[in-house]
Amino acid sequence: MRKSFFAFLVAHLCLVALPLSVLADECDDMANNAKSKFHEAQAAQAQEDYVRAIKLFEEAGGYYQTASRMKNCNCPLIEKSATNNVEICRNNVVGIRKQMADKTTVDSFNQGVLKFNEGNTYARDRQWALAANSFNEAEIIWRGIDPSSGQAGKNAQMMAEQAKELLQKARQQM
């Protein structure tokens, strides 16, 4: 009777403990998936593949969020570190989106510079209609840049005024 009670007790404990070990394995797997996605996101960001980096940081954040809610992890630090890593992923996404916006602003500003320089070249060659068209395009590009978007935004507004003045001069010559 003692042996069968002991066997029953051991079997019962194994059945009760089995879900805990499964949860612990799932927790570790979730944390490892999150870590893997996080490193992939960092690599994508380093390669300036910002859209992919955002997607991967969001996926990593989701894995970390799930891991932060899991109980009975093998490592008791997973819950706390996963919670912190969710915030890190979110901050990275915000930072990358700002980088992308800054890059777009600078790219737009530079496109305006190309049109402005093109206008100057046409004006030197006394091709007033082409010069006017290029100055007009430069002004439109620069007016489309948000003045509050940093130094490029402020410079764009000043350059738009110059382009407008040169546009008027080119039209007077036509």
Tokens found for residue 61: 């954040």
Quote the Cα angle for 144-149-155, to 5°.
70
106 vs 92: CA distance, rounded Å = 21
| Global pTM value | 0.64
Average pLDDT, the chain: 85
**For residue 1, what pLDDT is reported?**
53
**For residue 68, what pLDDT is reported?**
86
Q: With b meaning 16 or more CB within 10 Å and e meaning fewer, what string describes 54-84?
A: bbbbebbbbbbbbbbebeebeeeebbebbee
**For residue 12, what pLDDT is reported?**
43
> What confidence tens digit (pLDDT) does each residue in 106-121 have?
999 999 999 999 999 9
148 vs 167: CA distance, rounded Å = 25
pLDDT at residue 24 is higher than 80: no
> What confidence tens digit (pLDDT) does each residue in 51-106 have?
999 999 999 999 999 988 887 777 777 878 888 999 999 999 999 999 898 888 99
CA 148, distance to chain mean position in Å, is 20
pLDDT at residue 167 is higher than 80: yes
